[in-house]
C-alpha cells in the first residue's frame, strides 16, 4: 500500500509518496548469487524489469533485500537456517540482519557513497554465496506525465519543458532516475511532490495508468489541476537524493 501526506501552506502543496511517483504494480528484481545457492531480491512498488545486477540502487536510503534458497541450492543447506550476511568494503555502508527462524535471513543495506559492494552469505561460518550490489546517486531525473482530460477515460503520456493541459485534468507523474552510465537507479524511498501555486491542485485517486515504461516509478495518487495558469510541479527525493521540476500551462475548458 502506498502512503501519502498532503500539507497545505502558502504558495506550495506537498504530497509525500513511498516508492517515488504517482500511479502502477509491484515488482521483485532479483538475481542468483555467484555460487548459485541463494537468490537475492529487491521489492519495489513499481515495475523495474531486468535483474538486480543490471540496475543501481539509490544511495543514502535503506534497501531491504529478500534472500531465499535458489532452485539450484545444495541439499546440505536444508532450510537455510543459520545463514547470515556481511558486506565488503564495510566503510560508508550499514548492513543489518533480519533473522528468520524458519529460513534464510533477509538484510537491509544503506550505502552512503556510490560504488560496488560485495555481499557474502555464510552458514555457520562457511561462505555459501555472494553477490555484488551497485549503488549510485542519480545523475539524471526525467519526469513523464500521464494526463487524463476532464472528459477522457484514459491518460495520454507527455514530456517536455512545458505541457499544456485543460483545467480539471488529472495527472500521474512518472520519474526515471539514471546514473552517470545511463543505468536505472532504483529502490524504495520517499519522494515529495510539491506544486506552486498550491491552490492550483488537489490530490486525486490515481487512474491506474498502464502507460509508464519499464523503470518508471509510480505511486497510488495523482493530482487534479483545478485553476488556470502556469503551475510548476517539483519532485524531490529522500535525503536530497534528486530534484526535478515540470511546468504545466493550464487553460480553461473553453481554451482560455
* pLDDT band per the 50, 70, 90 thresholds, residue 211: very low
pLDDT of residue 119 exceeding 80 = yes
Domain contains 244: yes
CATH (domain of 108) = 2.60.40.10
222-250: per-residue pLDDT in tens? Answer: 889 999 999 999 988 877 788 999 999 99
Q: Mark which of 136, 153, 173 sits at the end of a domain.
A: 136
pTM: 0.78
40-57 mean pLDDT: 88
Q: Mark which of 115, 136, 157 sits at the end of a domain.
A: 136
Same domain for 49 and 113, yes or no, is yes
pLDDT of residue 11 exceeding 60 = no
Question: Which of the two residues, 127 and 173, has the higher pLDDT score?
Answer: 127
Mind spelling out the 3-state secondary structure of the chain? CCCCCEEEECCEEEEEEECCCCCCCCEEEEEECCCCCEEEEEEECCCCCCCHHHCEEECCCCEEEEEEECCCCCHHHCCCCCEEEEEECCCCEEEEEECCCCCCCEEEEEECCCEEEEEEEEECCEEEEEEEEEEECCCEEEEEEEEECCCCCCCEEECCCEEEEECCCEEEEEEEEECCCCCEEECCCEEEEEEECHHHEEEECCCCCCCCCCCCECCCCEEEECCCEEEEEEEEEHHHCCEEEEEEEEECCCCC
Number of structural domains found in the chain: 2
Domain encompassing residue 99: 27-136
152-172 mean pLDDT: 90
Domain contains 205: yes
Same domain for 113 and 173, yes or no, is no
Q: Mark which of 87, 106, 136 sits at the end of a domain.
A: 136
Position 206 scores a pLDDT of 59
Position 25 scores a pLDDT of 55
CATH (domain of 178) = 2.60.40
* pLDDT band per the 50, 70, 90 thresholds, residue 163: very high
Amino acid at each position: 500500500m502506498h502512503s501519502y501526506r498532503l500539507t497545505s501552506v502558502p504558495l506550495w502543496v506537498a504530497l509525500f509518496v513511498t516508492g517515488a511517483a504517482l500511479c502502477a504494480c509491484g515488482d521483485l528484481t532479483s538475481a542468483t548469487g555467484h555460487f548459485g545457492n541463494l537468490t537475492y531480491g529487491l521489492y519495489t512498488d513499481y515495475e523495474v524489469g531486468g535483474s538486480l545486477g543490471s540496475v543501481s540502487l539509490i544511495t543514502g536510503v535503506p534497501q531491504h533485500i529478500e534472500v531465499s534458497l535458489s532452485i539450484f541450492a545444495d541439499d546440505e543447506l536444508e532450510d537455510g537456517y543459520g545463514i547470515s550476511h556481511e558486506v565488503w568494503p564495510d566503510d560508508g555502508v550499514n548492513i543489518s540482519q533480519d533473522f528468520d527462524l524458519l529460513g534464510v535471513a533477509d538484510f537491509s543495506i544503506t550505502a552512503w557513497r556510490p560504488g560496488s559492494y560485495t555481499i557474502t552469505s555464510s552458514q555457520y561460518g562457511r561462505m555459501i554465496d555472494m553477490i555484488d550490489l551497485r549503488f549510485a546517486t542519480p545523475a539524471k531525473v526525467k519526469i513523464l506525465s500521464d494526463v487524463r482530460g476532464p472528459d477522457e477515460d484514459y491518460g495520454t503520456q507527455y514530456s517536455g519543458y512545458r505541457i499544456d493541459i485543460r483545467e480539471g485534468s488529472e495527472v500521474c507523474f512518472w520519474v526515471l532516475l539514471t546514473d552517470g552510465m545511463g543505468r536505472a537507479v532504483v529502490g524504495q524511498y520517499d519522494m515529495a511532490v510539491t506544486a506552486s501555486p498550491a491552490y492550483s491542485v488537489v490530490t486525486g485517486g490515481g487512474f491506474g495508468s498502464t502507460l509508464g515504461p519499464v523503470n518508471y516509478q509510480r505511486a497510488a495518487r495523482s493530482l487534479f489541476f483545478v485553476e488556470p495558469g502556469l503551475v510548476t510541479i517539483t519532485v524531490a527525493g529522500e535525503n536530497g537524493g534528486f530534484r526535478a521540476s515540470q511546468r504545466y500551462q493550464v487553460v480553461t475548458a473553453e481554451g482560455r
